Structure 1
Amino acid sequence: MKWLFLTLALAAPSWAYIRFGCATLSVQRLDPVVEPGSIPSAHLHQARNAFNATMSGDIGAKATCTTCSFSEDFSNYWTAVMYFKARNGTYKRVPQYPNALLGSLTGGMTIYYLQQDFNSNGKTKITSFKPGFRMTVGSPTTTSGSNPGLRYTCLKDIMTRGSETNDFPKQPCPAGIMAIHHFPACWDGKNLDSPNHQDHMYNTVKGAFQNAGPCPSSHPVRMPQLAFETMWNTTAFNDKSIWPADGSQPFVWSFDDRRGYGTHGDYMFGWKGDALQKAMDSTSLVSNNLKTQSVAEANKCTIKNTVNDDLDGWLDHLPGAMPM
């Protein structure tokens, strides 16, 4: 299952990107991209309004409200959920907390749309995603950490950046774990989706918010470099006496991935009209051409869960998995 995120966008103090925070709106076993119509889906996700088991067409035109403070963004962003597995074999969901750069939010996802990197807009035309567009990055079945855009940072404090790894940190992290998802930015210019939700895109990502490599002729259209950062507050589980007896790291994704290689993210475009294109065409990208709403207004946007699992207690199995 994935987590539905309340997106609270803030004007980015930058000349090369827009950045906004996301609070968690819903945690459910639904996945309208990979498992459309399945109630419940195979594992837990965190996700936003208009989120349902089946979603098609122009999401921005169907949503009744947005959890973004950029009031024209009705997109859906979601990832899997992190759990702690104790020495006795039980599981506890790991909470999130907000990125310090974005102020006081409820939740811990930060969304980025970059033209090039943090230092320059570059000279390449950036084409906005289109209504109905969707994509994923990563896969829960992946057994290697070869994608440089899928990484973890062991947080020494809330401002820690860099020192990324392709698997879960192996030692307790003083301020938690940040999971990072960089999506491909090269589009074939034709398909809004593909059977595996990835082939219509080509990945030239280098990671660490660097400018992605040039697009190939098969996927010639440069789109925004989309990225998620999710802050997981693992500090309540830093006592190694409750870690596995062999000393191995204790965190797993909601699909029972203990290495972390299977981390993945999903995206459904939902910006109203040409709002995102105007932002990508902006010289400064200080988001002064994007409409905003207050945090209070954003918080009024809610949904009811379709799938109701026990999410808060100690569990003898992950939601969707067989009991021990």
Structure 2
Amino acid sequence: MHVARFGQKMIVRRRPDRSSQIDQTDGTRAWAALDGGEAHEGHTPDEPGRSRLLRGFVLVTAFAAVSIALVALLGTDPLERSAEAPVPNSIDADGHASANGLLPVGEASAPAATERTDHGSATDRPATSNVRPVTDPESVAFIESDFDVEEFLVETESLPASSATEPSGNFRLICQFSHLAYDDPIVHPGEAGRSHLHMFFGNTAADASSDYDRLRTSGESTCQGGSLNRSAYWAPAVIDQDGDVRVPDFISVYYKGPGHGVDGELTDVVALPAGLRMIAGQRLDAPLAESPHDWYCELDQEKSDTIPDCGPDEHVGVVLPFPTCWNGIELDSPDHRSHVAEPVRDEASGQLSCPSTHPTALPQLTVGIWFSHDGDSSGWHLASDRSPGGPEFENGASFHSDWFGAWDPEIQRRWTELCINDLLNCEGGELGDGTRLSDIGERVGPSTMTAPSRP
């Protein structure tokens, strides 16, 4: 990576040597084979439309599957790197957020201060205290659902196949776009309008004031399983050449294990604790730092730090893994990152292990966001690529994502124990017990939206 200066702007450029090619000889069948081989071939969806949703699972999991294979063969990890806005006012019968009839979130007025971007970047707003108090995990109790969880489950014809030979335990589901907001409940809690523009999926009521209690007790969900998964997921909005916001076709969400113990041995993961929140991807306050995100064209699968120019008939996607090791003490940290960490590799043995400072293995969350388009996608950029007062990133290079967990605790326990720790290949929201999360259907609506005005 190097930095070029033009006038008063600093443009962060990525090195061009990170791309690699994955041979795709048989479309999505090749990706299905990478993610479990014969167990996925000839899969017949239980309902119309599920086959298209499952296409998302194999797209986002392929990179992880290739990484596992290379670790096993070579002892090296290809993922290692050096060093309101309006919200939808309705959800249709399939769980889709309406793109019309937008309503404002919270107060319409902006904060008295003038703009500041999130994730620690410098701006022209005066600094204010915006760090949510660090919380003792033992002081935050899981909140049970106030409805019958079985209403959001569907029986399956068979149990998921084992993936113990990889070894890997997998739980996958699909989410849809929910709403846009200049909010970030992790970095700017309680400060509506303080962030760059984000696209939210999952909890439909997520805004600047969201915390664990509010997420668990309010809002619908645009993820499979509906209100069983009121977690909030968000990422910077994608802006096209015309200045419009690109709306993703779907979001693939992937939780996996096993974990890495401090001794380098594979270990069970613990259920994600109540109130945990995480940020992964590019740091806006450290533009020279590496980020584990990768942009893809759906068909050729060439990886890039920046948004590629993809063909008009293929999806443009970005995939980002989150940290998997937790310090077991904090649900958040002042920089919103240091309470979690990546496994480290022992130079002598090649084994990955959680560092002693972060000994608790969590399920690894990976998100994949996929867009259709009808033109040159290389002209797209992220809202966070153009931060007032901060560095200007190449298109897509500033990608990052936030997660604030709010799963129904019993459903989370099931997929953690049965899918991940029992090393099953649970796809389509399967829970490993003969049930799966209810469908949300495919998104219906325009592929672009007008960027909302800042409140």
Q: Which residue of 1 aligns with 2:404?
A: 268
2:353 corresponds to 1:182: no
User: How far apart are 1:291 and its partner, in Å?
Assistant: 5.8
Structure 2 Cα separation of the partners of residues 269 and 59 of structure 1: 11
Deviates more, 1:259-268 or 1:63-72: 63-72
2:380 corresponds to 1:236: no
2:235 corresponds to 1:92: no
Q: 2:252 aligns with which of 98, 103, 110?
A: 110
Q: Which structure has greater helix proportion?
A: 2
User: How far apart are 1:56 and its partner, in Å?
Assistant: 2.1
Give the alignment's Cα RMSD to 1 decimal.
3.6
Structure 1 Cα separation of the partners of residues 87 and 425 of structure 2: 26
Higher relative contact order (CA 8 A, sep 6+): 1
CA-to-aligned-CA distance 1:256-280 (integer Å, 9 cap, x gap): 2433221010001111224323322
TM-score normalised according to structure 2 size: 0.51
Q: Which amino acid aligns with 2:257?
A: Q
Does the aligned pair in 2 maintain the 1:151–1:179 contact within 8 Å?
yes
Q: Which residue of 2 aligns with 1:243?
A: none
Does the aligned pair in 2 maintain the 1:182–1:225 contact within 8 Å?
yes
Q: Which residue of 1 aligns with 2:110?
A: none
Q: How does 1:1-324 map to 2 (within 5 A)?
A: 15=163, 16-47=169-200, 48-59=203-214, 61-71=216-226, 72-85=228-241, 90-97=242-249, 108-116=250-258, 123-138=266-281, 139-144=283-288, 146-147=290-291, 149-156=292-299, 162-169=301-308, 171-174=309-312, 175-204=314-343, 213-233=352-372, 235-238=373-376, 249-255=378-384, 256=386, 257-282=393-418, 283=422, 284=424, 286=426, 287-289=431-433, 292-295=437-440, 312-313=449-450, 320=454
Does the aligned pair in 2 maintain the 1:279–1:285 contact within 8 Å?
no
CA-to-aligned-CA distance 1:139-178 (integer Å, 9 cap, x gap): 344534722x31111223xxx5x42122222x34441320
Q: Percent identity?
A: 20
Structure 1 Cα separation of the partners of residues 247 and 225 of structure 2: 25
Structure 1 Cα separation of the partners of residues 330 and 382 of structure 2: 30
Q: Which amino acid aligns with 1:266?
A: D
How many pairs were matched up? 267
Does the aligned pair in 2 maintain the 1:30–1:39 contact within 8 Å?
yes
Deviates more, 1:219-228 or 1:257-266: 257-266
CA-to-aligned-CA distance 1:12-42 (integer Å, 9 cap, x gap): 9664211111111111222111111222133
Q: Which amino acid aligns with 1:30?
A: D
Q: Which amino acid aligns with 1:33?
A: I
User: How far apart are 1:186 and its partner, in Å?
Assistant: 0.3
TM-score normalised according to structure 1 size: 0.70
Does the aligned pair in 2 maintain the 1:182–1:227 contact within 8 Å?
yes
Does the aligned pair in 2 maintain the 1:83–1:91 contact within 8 Å?
yes
The DSSP-based 3-state class of the residue aligned with 1:114 is strand
The DSSP-based 3-state class of the residue aligned with 2:179 is strand
Does the aligned pair in 1 maintain the 2:246–2:449 contact within 8 Å?
no
Does the aligned pair in 1 maintain the 2:192–2:207 contact within 8 Å?
no
Q: Which amino acid aligns with 1:192?
A: L
User: How far apart are 1:196 and its partner, in Å?
Assistant: 1.3
Does the aligned pair in 2 maintain the 1:44–1:80 contact within 8 Å?
yes
CA 237–140 in structure 1, closer or farther in 2 if over 3 Å, else same: farther
Gapped regions of structure 1 (runs ≥ 5): 98-107, 207-211, 240-248, 300-310
Q: Which amino acid aligns with 2:297?
A: C
Does the aligned pair in 2 maintain the 1:186–1:220 contact within 8 Å?
yes
Structure 1 outlier segments of 4+, above 6 Å: 1-12
CA 312–73 in structure 1, closer or farther in 2 if over 3 Å, else same: closer
The DSSP-based 3-state class of the residue aligned with 2:216 is helix
Structure 1 Cα separation of the partners of residues 184 and 286 of structure 2: 18
User: How far apart are 1:51 and its partner, in Å?
Assistant: 0.9
User: How far apart are 1:113 and its partner, in Å?
Assistant: 0.3
The DSSP-based 3-state class of the residue aligned with 1:164 is coil
Q: Which residue of 2 aligns with 1:246?
A: none
Structure 1 Cα separation of the partners of residues 222 and 204 of structure 2: 7
Structure 2 Cα separation of the partners of residues 68 and 205 of structure 1: 32
CA 95–273 in structure 1, closer or farther in 2 if over 3 Å, else same: closer
Structure 1 Cα separation of the partners of residues 225 and 365 of structure 2: 16
User: How far apart are 1:320 and its partner, in Å?
Assistant: 4.8
